[in-house]
Amino acid sequence: MVSPAIALAFLPLLLTLLIRYRFYFVLFYRAVLLRVWRDCRTGLSREERCFQYVLTNATPGDPESILDGFDSWCTKKEFISHIGPKKGKILDRLLSEHSPLTVLELGAHCGYSTVRIARALPLGARLFSVEMDQKNAAIAEKVIRLAGFDEALVELIVCPSDEVIPRLRADFDLEKLDFVFMDHWKKCYLPDLQMLEGSGLLGKGSMILADNVLFPGAPNFLRYIRRCGLYEWRVHRATLEYSKGIRDGMAELVYQGTK
């Protein structure tokens, strides 16, 4: 057993670590421990619990009400890694400035960002939203339709991104993507970006916005865009959605074409 004297010697270090990394401990509790406990207690997934809350508290056909429902759940109940309202305003502004007609979303999850994007698109635009998890995609489909968006505006594609991207031109008659939002597996950011480059779907001025590039982080993706010379780019500094004290950021890329 550890003697009391040794335990007391380590107490200041332990307190220092708890204070310094308190926001990460809170995130671990909300995102992992609380989730596992409620999964076992309810027999429902975190995403299913969130959808039930939104369905009960939001107004059908009102995208803002649905987004507010998600934000309320994720703030007060359980953590889900949606883009959230603060970083969402950056996405809103870029969509408003560029008015894209063809949009690709990689990582629909529960449909939060899909609804956020769809509500900002001009008349005649199309949003292709990709989600590989079938259970999450089923929830996203319900959320998108609950918000009032039909398949003419939003098409949900249930498939891994690396299988969808090579087929976009042939299967969906796409010539160019005006806007791409990445919020799926961070390890996929770089290979999917390079796949988009190779597909010919990025034209001069095409914009890519990638979330969570600082936390959990996408270092290979950031290293590539710094060195490749194909983009004008910047990182919007922010904090992690529905959290305090955890630094994060969104990478904004504008494709300039091959050099």
Catalytic residue, chosen from 87, 178, 212, 248, is 212
* Single-letter code of the amino acid located at 153: L
Give the whole-angstrom CA distance, residue 54 versus residue 48: 10
3-state secondary structure of 149: coil
Catalytic residue, chosen from 178, 241, 248, 252, is 241
The four Cα atoms 139, 141, 143, 146 give a dihedral, to 10 degrees, of: -140
3-state secondary structure of 131: strand
Catalytic residue, chosen from 47, 178, 183, 248, is 183
Q: Is 71 a catalytic residue?
A: no
CB–CB of 49/78 below 8 Å? yes
Q: Is 248 a catalytic residue?
A: no
Q: Is 212 a catalytic residue?
A: yes
Which residues lie closer than 8 Å to 214 by C-beta, 6 or more apart?
A: 235, 237, 247, 248, 249
Q: Is 252 a catalytic residue?
A: no
Q: Is 211 a catalytic residue?
A: yes
Catalytic residue, chosen from 186, 192, 248, 252, is 186
Which residues are designated catalytic? 183, 186, 211-212, 241
